[in-house]
């Protein structure tokens, strides 16, 4: 039942973008990474539609999002969030609104991304003992998923690592000390995580699909070719981060990569991270990570430009055989609290909520309800 959308906006809702039933894969994943939203609410954030405050999970569900992505750190002592309790809350709230969940294991105590993969401090003594580290990763993944399953919170999808361009669970100085990825070690760790997901799902009503995730399309094909060569094959989805600021590919290049991936691998391809600013202004002193240097000529930093970017990238993914797009991070608004890089937010200009209007939902918040051109069924 629609709880807040005015009739004109409610009419935009389409069946293909509606909330998905648990476990049944939707036609297309319209996703939002809401890893910050619980923290933002605790910091006083209020999210509005038509001037009225609403539950942010309800806002995303009722604007056609059918997938919530959430990150998990091993033991991040510098924050009270993105731990198992925080993940439980996110899954409960997303599931209550009919949305599926993608759980993103970083396998680190801090941000793991395309530039760094830092071994959790508890596992640092066994970093170079591949069998022991593989067992620790397996046990942690299995234990986490079993705990969630016991509470009816098993996610529909699981990422085994986040933007794993570098070797899993290394150190900052590995860029200088090592040449490339030690693939026998890397493959053993990835396969340990994958096996844990499969084993956890054996007795579960929800059997999570496994995603492996690489940042920027130009890096995806070489990485998956190496992974295949070293026996990493048991996955269901290929996740791709696409931020034009850090990528050499334009949207056409992204589309071509997706098309080749879908032809080469028996896996669905999802752009699991993307974002675009609706303004170059900021609400606080923390600098915006997506500033003017991220803009493309055809997409100005306006609400209309943000919406056009989202609809165009989504159409690109659909046209080239991809199965989803996830926006990062549409609810990381500015608050009185501090996050990793200072007080406020480094992303408020690229959220779906305009602080200049009391965190009113932007036009791009309705991107799942746009009219997309879907491929004709085979044989039609």
Identify which of 118, 351, 349, 328 has the alpha carbon closest to the alpha carbon of residue 242. Answer: 328
Give the bridge partners for 240, in sequence order.
Answer: 214, 271
Query: Is residue 83 situated within a structural domain?
Result: yes
Total domains, the chain: 1
The secondary structure of residue 12, as a DSSP letter, is: T
Find the CATH number of the domain harbouring 32: 3.20.20.80
Q: What is the pTM of this model?
A: 0.93
How much is the pLDDT for 379?
Answer: 52
Which residues are tagged catalytic?
A: 163, 273
230 part of a folded domain = yes
CB 148 within 8 A of CB 154: yes
What residues make up the domain containing 12? 7-369
Whose CA is closest to 192, among 239, 149, 133?
133
156-191 burial, b for 16+ CB within 10 Å, e for fewer? Answer: bbbbbbbbbbbbbbbeeebeeeeeebbbebbbbbbb
235 is a domain residue: yes
> Read out DSSP for 229-253?
HTT----SEEEEE--GGG-S--HHH
User: Can you tell me which residue has the tokens 């990381």?
Assistant: 332
Q: Residue 255 in contact with residue 315, Cβ under 8 Å?
A: no
Residue 377 inside a domain? The answer is no
Give domain status of residue 375, yes or no.
no
Cross-strand partners of 53: 48
User: Does residue 2 lie within any of the structural domains?
Assistant: no
Residue with tokens 């589309």: 255
Q: Where are the beta strands (DSSP E) in the chain?
A: 29-33, 47-49, 52-54, 67-72, 100-105, 157-160, 209-215, 237-241, 268-274, 324-327, 338-339, 342-343, 353-354, 360-361
Provide the residue-wise pLDDT of the chain in tens; the chain has 380 residues: 344 554 334 433 433 333 444 578 789 999 999 999 999 999 999 999 999 999 999 999 999 999 999 999 999 999 999 999 999 999 999 999 999 999 999 999 999 999 999 999 999 999 999 999 999 999 999 999 999 999 999 999 999 999 999 999 999 877 767 778 999 999 999 999 999 999 999 989 999 999 999 999 999 999 999 999 999 999 999 999 999 999 999 999 999 999 999 999 999 999 999 999 999 999 999 999 999 999 999 999 999 999 999 999 999 999 999 999 999 999 999 999 988 888 999 999 999 999 999 999 999 999 999 999 998 775 54
Q: Is the separation of the CB atoms in 333 and 284 below 8 Å? A: no
Q: Answer yes or no: are the C-beta atoms of 40 and 333 closer than 8 Å.
A: yes
């Amino acid at each position: 039942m629609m709880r807040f959308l005015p009739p004109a906006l409610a009419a935009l809702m389409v069946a293909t973008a509606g909330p998905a039933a648990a476990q049944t894969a939707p036609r297309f994943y319209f996703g939002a990474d809401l890893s910050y939203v619980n923290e933002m609410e605790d910091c006083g954030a209020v999210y509005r539609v038509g001037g009225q405050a609403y539950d942010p999970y309800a806002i995303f569900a009722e604007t056609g999002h059918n997938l919530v992505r959430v990150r998990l750190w091993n033991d991040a002592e510098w924050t009270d969030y993105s731990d198992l309790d925080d993940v439980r809350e996110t899954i409960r709230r997303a599931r209550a609104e009919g949305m599926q969940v993608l759980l993103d294991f970083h396998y680190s105590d801090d941000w793991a991304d395309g530039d760094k993969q830092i071994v959790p401090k508890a596992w640092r003594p066994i970093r170079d003992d591949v069998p022991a580290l593989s067992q620790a990763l397996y046990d942690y993944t299995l234990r986490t998923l079993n705990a969630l399953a016991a509470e009816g919170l098993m996610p529909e999808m699981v990422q085994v690592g986040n933007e794993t361009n570098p070797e899993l669970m290394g150190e900052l100085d590995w860029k200088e000390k090592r040449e490339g990825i030690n693939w026998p070690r890397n493959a053993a760790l990835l396969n340990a995580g994958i096996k844990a997901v499969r084993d956890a799902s054996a007795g579960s009503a929800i059997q999570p699909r496994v995603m492996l995730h690489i940042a920027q399309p130009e890096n995806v094909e070489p990485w998956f070719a190496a992974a295949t060569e070293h026996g990493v094959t048991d996955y269901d989805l290929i996740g791709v981060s696409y931020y034009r600021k850090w990528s050499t590919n334009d949207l056409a290049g992204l589309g071509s990569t997706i098309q080749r991936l879908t032809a080469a691998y028996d896996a669905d391809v999802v752009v699991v991270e993307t974002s675009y600013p609706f303004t170059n202004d900021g609400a606080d002193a923390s600098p915006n990570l997506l500033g003017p240097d991220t803009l493309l000529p055809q997409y100005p930093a306006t609400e209309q430009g943000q919406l056009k970017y989202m609809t165009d990238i989504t159409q690109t993914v659909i046209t080239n055989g991809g199965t989803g797009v996830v926006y990062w991070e549409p609810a990381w608004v500015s608050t009185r609290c501090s996050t990793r890089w200072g007080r406020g937010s480094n992303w408020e200009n690229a959220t779906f909520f305009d602080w200049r209007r009391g965190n009113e939902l932007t036009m791009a918040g309705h991107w799942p309800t746009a009219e997309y051109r879907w491929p004709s069924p085979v044989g039609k």
